[in-house]
Amino acid sequence: FFTNCVIGHLWHAIPGARFKRMYGQDYNRHAYELIDSTSDHLHWAGGHWTSSRDGRGAHDQAGGGHAHCGTMIYLGDNWPDSYRGHVYTCNIHGRRLNADRLELRGCGYVGKRGFDLFHNDDPWHRGVALDYGPDGSVFVLDWCDLGECHDNDGVHRSSGRIYRFRHGADARLPAFDLQKKSDTELADLQLHKNDWWVRQARRILAERAVAGHRMDAVHRQLWQMFERNPAVTRKLRALWCLHVTGGLDEKRLLELLEHREERIRVWAVRLLCDGDRVSEPARKKFETMAASEPCGLVRSYLASALHRLPPRQRFTLAGALAGQEKDAGDRTQPLMIWYGLEPAVTLDPAASLTLALTTPMAKLRQFIARRLTETENHLDLLIAAVSRGKETSVQEQLLEGIRDGLKGRKQVKAPERWREIYALLTASKSPAVRNLARVLALTFDDPQARKELLSLVRDQRAGMEDRISAIQALVNAGVAELGDVLLLTLKEKSLRSASLRALAAY
């Protein structure tokens, strides 16, 4: 997890994800949509972000302001257990620490508003970093300046402070040197409640393994810890330490993909994807488990694994994940699948359209159609796929993708079967399908469709929704004959408002 400044503050970092940013666009123009903040709230009361700089009033109640710096998930052993596992960040303008609770939801997490901790009345307080130490206390770095990130006069270079937050009576740790501990003693520290000791011990063991120390005894000790300790957190610590010391091979990781604990399966996927490429046995196992995996978080990391496969080998795994109806409305999973599938779409248009026609994920279907439209010579395939769509919702989403892919283009050559399929679409029971068909007909510079739309606008017996849709399509296409027709429709009260707006745009 990481925090951010100005826009949403909390983000769940998944390999391969693409996130919204304050300014600019993603460097891949085919991403189409970016993942938003993990939190379901802001720490300011809305409006333009500059309005929260004083951290008062409604902004104070919401959390203090838009700007955050530093991130800590408390896993120490001094603060009460009720504080453990929450995300803490420095709120710069609010001069406090914000806390969010992490809750699993769907294929990821949601950050829920927690409590505010440590409110400093000093107007110079600027929290910029925080972390817990070996005694479980939390240290907060204070820039201590009247300005903020926009202050560049550089006149306060020596005013920083460090705050230490401890629960209960102060107690100093005796001096220690972890480098003097044996390998087995460092392995034992993987069971320590304070994760500071766990991480430092793991780092030292990794350094010793790289330096050539024999780790056989440590590996036996860690595997015993993994198999016998009932706590999944301790199993994970053993697993991570085995990984960094060379005690975890692919065979064991493939076996762990079937572990009863979902967090173990998550990390088995992640560690199998730790290199540039996924092995053939791992790829086949991912494809098998994707269709039946019950845990959304595991499915999210399987989608992340798409990036480690050669593009042409991504369709089976992507198809299995895209077939999960329970993920169709998920906040991130359709996008994660799209980011992994996108480089492969134009390499095999037929396979892409097969996936588009069968997935319950509307966004994925629309994006596949859009991506193929933006590449030459795929319109015939796309329009044929639209005609094969068994549900109007499928047709609508494919047409939306084609429309978006053709945006800004005019007088595009119509597909071969366009007149036949246009007649089918304009007879649809779905107003959205009929409207999209008309928009595309004008993009294809279809003279017959232009006449039909002008006639539809004039036809007082036609449905009002269809007539307004026809007006909008003709305005967007800049059809010259529309002006005279609009003047005639001003006499109709129910159509007058739409006609006046069209004349203003015309």
- Which tens digits make up the pLDDT trace of 226-249? 999 999 999 999 999 999 999 999
Listed in sequence order, the residues at least 6 apart from 24 whose beta carbon sits closer than 8 Å to its beta carbon are none
Mean of pLDDT values over 457-469: 91
| 378 occurs within a structural domain | no
The SS3 assignment for 127 reads: strand
| 239 occurs within a structural domain | no
The torsion angles phi and psi of 162, rounded to 5 degrees, stand at -125, 125
Mean of pLDDT values over 308-317: 98
User: Domain range spanning residue 85?
Assistant: 2-165
Q: What is the 3-state secondary structure (H, E, C) of 192-241?
A: CCCHHHHHHHHHHHHHHHHCCCCCHHHHHHHHHHHHHCCCHHHHHHHHHH
| 70 occurs within a structural domain | yes
Tell me how far apart the alpha carbons of residues 344 and 322 are, in angstroms, rounded to a whole number. Answer: 15
Q: So what's the pLDDT on residue 408? A: 83
| 219 occurs within a structural domain | no
Q: Sheet harboring 96-105: ordered strands across?
A: 68-73, 87-91, 96-105, 108-117
Check: CB of residue 93 under 8 Å from CB of residue 109: no
Exposed/middle/buried for residue 400 (C-beta within 10 Å: 0-12, 13-18, 19+): buried
| 307 occurs within a structural domain | no
Helix (H), strand (E) counts: the chain: 21, 9
The torsion angles phi and psi of 74, rounded to 5 degrees, stand at -75, 120
Output the CA torsion sign for 231, 235, 241, 244: negative
Q: So what's the pLDDT on residue 151? A: 62
Q: What is the CA radius of gyration of the chain?
A: 29
Which of 39, 47, 48, 97 is CA-nearest to residue 68?
97
| 345 occurs within a structural domain | no
Tell me how far apart the alpha carbons of residues 131 and 74 are, in angstroms, rounded to a whole number. Answer: 8
The total number of structural domains in the chain stands at 1
For every residue of 255-302, DSSP letters joined together read HHTT-SSHHHHHHHHHHHTSSSS--HHHHHHHHHHHTT---HHHHHHH
Please report how the helices 379-388 and 392-405 are oriented relative to each other, as an axis angle in degrees rounded to 10.
Answer: 160
| 316 occurs within a structural domain | no
Tell me how far apart the alpha carbons of residues 137 and 346 are, in angstroms, rounded to a whole number. Answer: 54
Tens-place pLDDT, residues 12-39: 999 999 999 887 789 999 999 999 999 9
Tens-place pLDDT, residues 145-202: 877 665 666 667 788 899 999 999 988 899 999 999 999 999 999 999 999 999 999 9
Q: So what's the pLDDT on residue 152? A: 66
Tell me how far apart the alpha carbons of residues 420 and 443 are, in angstroms, rounded to a whole number. Answer: 16
| 132 occurs within a structural domain | yes
